[in-house]
Chains A and B, each alone.
Chain A
């Protein structure tokens, strides 16, 4: 048994924790461990905690509730301290750092944008715009190509795909960067070619959302924009 830690907040945070479920099969109540001007939101850690959907969801819900009333430093899922005292000393040890971070993140939220592209429409575009690729493709389809043609076509297309997606991704990020305090790009997964988080201040939120919507709308053909937010600032703590 230990103490599961959700997030760090300022002591002034109202901490409306009622009705929230913690992690675990029969979760204990959420409570606060205070040290100086900081506060950690915790619950008793269940034995044998695993990252189940339910528990990851519970972790996230706690952050969202706290975020509604103030600034929060969300912890990564799955961090467990031995005792409340250990939580307290962890807060004390880095008190200045956490306090500064809370100040910097005040009034900001994270927005995460993922973009995937329909492969067929991208390939069509490449064949339409690259005469050598088009020629190779025609030759292969007509049966007049030499045996190495498929390899050359594939390599050419792979390079085009990469270059186009990098350019498109960079363009989308540059379009949104003016409305963000910070930007954090990560490795896309699955069929996405862009995975980027923006730290957006409240007073820029509307402009950010309007611009994102316009970019998604204008480039929408064959592209799948997935914007999630406002989120606790996981990528900027």
Chain B
């Protein structure tokens, strides 16, 4: 397996065991199954847990987001996030050369449309009943420390 080199932004360069990590769920959970064969037990899997992203709309999640927002240093951070709409405009311009022209404008349109749906639309979901579930704690694999516990409301 090769890891495709990436450019730009915070794009990762995988390699070695890091990339095995990223394809692990394909090897363990996808692939052809022949049902008369026996599958070895995956209990006690040593490499890591395949941790499903826990998705809860809970008091815990909300408070965590609120705290994270309160903590942000907005003044120094103001420069950080380029507006997505700017980026899309940029995509259209800079994408207008080379063989991937059509692809890039297509990409830009797709992304613009999706974003319009978000930023322009009303939040119809807002009044939906709040689902409250047990906040679930995940074990994180050591090498991928992450701040996020959950963000989505339901799956």
Query: A residues bordering B, Cβ < 8 Å?
Result: 2, 5, 7-8, 49-53, 56-57, 59-60, 64, 73-82, 86, 89-90, 94, 110-112, 114, 118-129, 133, 137, 140-141, 149-151, 153-155, 157-159, 161-168, 170-172, 174-176, 178-179, 186-193, 197, 207, 209-231, 234-235, 237
Contacts and interface: CB of A to CB of B under 8 A. Distances in A.
A17 B8 CA distance: 39
B99 A226 contact: no
A237 B10 contact: no
Contact of B40 (A78, A110, A129, A178): A78
Contacts, number: 336
Interface in B1-39: 1-4, 6-12, 14, 17, 19-20, 22-34, 36-39
A56 B123 CA distance: 44
Given A175-B111, A226-B12, A228-B4, A51 B46 contact: yes
B81 A128 contact: yes
B110 A170 contact: yes
Interface of B: 1-4, 6-12, 14, 17, 19-20, 22-34, 36-42, 44-47, 50-53, 57, 59, 61-70, 72, 74, 77-78, 80-84, 87-88, 90-91, 94-95, 98-100, 103-104, 106-108, 110-115, 117-119, 123, 125-126, 130, 140-141, 144, 146-148, 151-153, 155
Given A50-B45, A175-B103, A220-B8, 7 more contacts: A74-B31, A150-B70, A155-B57, A219-B84, A224-B12, A225-B9, A230-B1
Nearest to A3: B37
Contacts of A178: 103, 106
Contacts of A149: 66
A35 B65 CA distance: 58
A77 B82 CA distance: 42
15 contacts: A50-B44, A56-B28, A60-B27, A75-B31, A77-B27, A124-B78, A151-B59, A157-B69, A168-B84, A168-B111, A174-B107, A209-B4, A211-B107, A214-B107, A226-B22
B50 A189 contact: yes
Given A211-B100, A218-B87, A224-B11, A189 B26 contact: no
Given A60-B23, A137-B70, A220-B10, A168 B114 contact: yes
A191 B126 CA distance: 24
Given A228-B1, A229-B4, A222 B118 contact: no
Residue with the highest number of chain A CB atoms closer than 10 Å, among B52, B67, B111: B111
Nearest to B19: A228
Closest CB pairs A-B (n = 10): A220-B9, A154-B62, A175-B107, A217-B8, A171-B111, A174-B110, A76-B31, A167-B114, A220-B8, A234-B30
Given A86-B36, A121-B81, A235-B26, A213 B72 contact: no
Contacts of A126: 69
B74 A157 contact: no
A191 B147 contact: yes
B30 to A, nearest CB: 4
Contacts of A2: 38
A216 B33 contact: no
B78 A237 contact: no
Nearest to B48: A53
B70 A140 contact: yes
A105 B14 CA distance: 26
Given A153-B66, A159-B123, A229-B1, A79 B6 contact: no
Contacts of B144: 190-191
